[in-house]
Structure 1
Amino acid sequence: MEELISQIKKALDNNLYYLALLAALTLPDICGALSSEDGKATKQRYIEWFNKYVGEKYKGCLTGEDCYYFRCSFVHQGTSQHPKSNYSRVIFVEPTGTSNIFHCNILEDALNIDVRIFVMDILEGVEKWLREVKDTEVFKKNYARFMKRYPNGLPPYIVGVPVIS
């Protein structure tokens, strides 16, 4: 999990906002699954995780349900518009484009969020969640199957080169 967080931060540091945002939006699903008995992601788990670990920063602006709808539209259709969302679209401002911060604004019927702040808020939520669950039996069971990076390969399959599996 730490490697995934690190790579998302590197994406932000290199202005790879699509990649950082796409990856960050999947984290509530992953965290919800890793801390569940059946190890599966669900809409309800996503919403509850977001509301608990990130939602406080977005009260009156972005709910777990709206974030879930945005995640669905972006991950599956490549759009910031979802018919069930409370907003017509989500507009992310890149911090390299201006010295001003545009964050948590409702513009007409659209939600405006600073992409760096949003991604970092999710990552902070993941780090807090991880501290809470890392020693639980449910997490340990599910994390054993989590996709990890193996810098020296994964014997007996591949040895000597980095792999992700």
Structure 2
Amino acid sequence: MNSFERDPLINCIENGIKNDIRICQQSGALRGALVLILTGIDYMAGLNMPNGQEKATRRDYIEWCDRYIRFNGDHLITGTEFYAARCGMVHSYTSESDFLARNGCRQIGYMDKNETDVVYKPQINENLVMLSIDGFIRAFFSGIDNFFISVFSDGEKARIVEERLEKLVHIFPFQGTEGELEAD
């Protein structure tokens, strides 16, 4: 394994978070892709925390979405709506959550593909917005890329994020015999 593959941006983000989502998408495991995106936002919000903060909060998640998740078309899905969707999917494998009900958010429904990423027809149901999973994947990946562009344009923020990236799960192939714990 070359040193480039050891870089956390390659190992954890490109070959980890993004690749796992791509594999789900390509194999038709779209619910799995959704879970990975909605939890992947948690990881990005955690990387983005202020210096000295130990755990990402709901507010961090919502702010990361509001800043970095963008779609084609006119309709906006708020960070609060994404957080409600995350709660439903992660905690009950549904598109409903207590947070959704308490905060008056629109429920997010999902489509595999669509010409536009977001479809909102309030004349039919003002409490439902439909989201293309393909569009969500593109928007999340673009959000990750834009996040890192922003981070690495600020030296102090870059230092903090680089330290946090080192703590993410890295995968290294082993070479040797049984019982050896030496990584390549």
TM over 0.5: yes
Instruction: Give distance in 1, aligned partners of 2:77 and 2:143.
Output: 15
From 24, 27, 34, the counterpart of 1:14: 27
Q: Deviations over 1:49-91 (max 9, x none)?
A: 101111575764410011111101111111101223422x322
* Structure 2 residue aligned with 1:119: 137
2:8: which partner in 1? none
Q: Counting strand residues as a fraction of each chain, which structure ranks higher?
A: 1
TM-score in terms of structure 2 length: 0.72
Work out the percentage of aligned pairs sharing the same amino acid: 19
Measured in 1, the distance between the counterparts of 2:183 and 2:59 equals 41
SS of equivalent residue, structure 1 residue 113:
strand
Which residue in the other structure is 2:55 paired with?
40
TM-score (norm 1): 0.79
Over 3 Å counting, the alpha-carbon distance change for 1:26 and 1:19 in structure 2 is same
**3-state SS, counterpart of residue 118 of structure 2:** coil
The reply on whether 1:94 has 2:112 as its aligned counterpart is yes
- 2:160, 2:74 → 1: CA distance? 30
Any stretches of 5+ residues in structure 1 without a counterpart?
Answer: none
Displacement of 1:152 in angstroms is: 2.7
Q: Report the equivalent of 1:130.
A: 148
Write out aligned runs for 1:15-94 (5 A).
Answer: 15-36=28-49, 37=51, 38-55=53-70, 60-82=75-97, 83=101, 84-87=103-106, 89-94=107-112
Residues in 2 aligned to 1:157 and 1:75: alpha-carbon distance in whole angstroms:
37
Alpha-carbon distance in 2 for matches of 1:100, 1:29: 28
Match of 1:152 in 2: 174
Q: Determine the C-alpha separation between the residues in 2 that align with 1:58 and 1:65.
A: 19
CA distance in 2, matches of 1:119, 1:141: 26
Distance 1:131 1:150, change over 3 A: farther
Distance 1:39 1:57, change over 3 A: farther
Instruction: Identify the residue that residue 14 of structure 2 maps to in structure 1.
Output: 2
Give the 3 Å change call, closer, same or farther, for CA 22–132 of structure 1 in structure 2.
same
Once residues 142 and 6 of structure 1 are traced to their aligned partners in structure 2, the CA distance between those partners, rounded to angstroms, is 20
SS of the residue corresponding to residue 149 of structure 1 reads coil
Count of matched residue pairs: 155
Q: Answer yes or no: is the 8 Å Cα contact 1:90–1:112 preserved in 2.
A: yes
1:24 is displaced (CA, Å) by 0.6
Partner Cα separation in structure 2 for residue 15 and residue 62 of structure 1: 24
Tell me the amino acid that sits aligned with residue 111 of structure 1.
V
- Provide the rounded CA distance (Å) in 2 between the counterparts of 1:81 and 1:123: 25
Please tell me whether Structure 1 or Structure 2 has the larger radius of gyration of its CA atoms.
Answer: 2
